[in-house]
């Protein structure tokens, strides 16, 4: 995710992986989302599930609120 906004090859890879998963009827959770721009890119690609420092730092399982 880090360079999808600045590197055309990284963006193409991300789009391709998302498209492949969708064609196989699989869900996609993108890891490493750190900016709103990255999140917007994912939304444009049809992926709405993400995780990363944008949402919060890693925490022990006991601290998760589900």
Residues annotated catalytic, as ranges: 31
Q: For the CA atoms of 41, 32, 24, 14, what is the dihedral angle to 10 degrees?
A: 50
Do the beta carbons of residue 50 and residue 33 sit within 8 Å?
yes
Do the beta carbons of residue 38 and residue 4 sit within 8 Å?
yes
């Amino acid at each position: 995710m880090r360079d999808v906004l600045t590197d055309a090859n990284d963006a193409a890879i991300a789009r391709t992986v998302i498209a492949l998963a969708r064609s196989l009827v699989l869900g996609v959770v993108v890891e490493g989302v750190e900016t709103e721009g990255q999140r917007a890119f994912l939304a444009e690609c049809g992926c709405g599930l993400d995780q990363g420092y944008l949402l919060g730092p890693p925490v022990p399982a006991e601290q998760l609120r589900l």
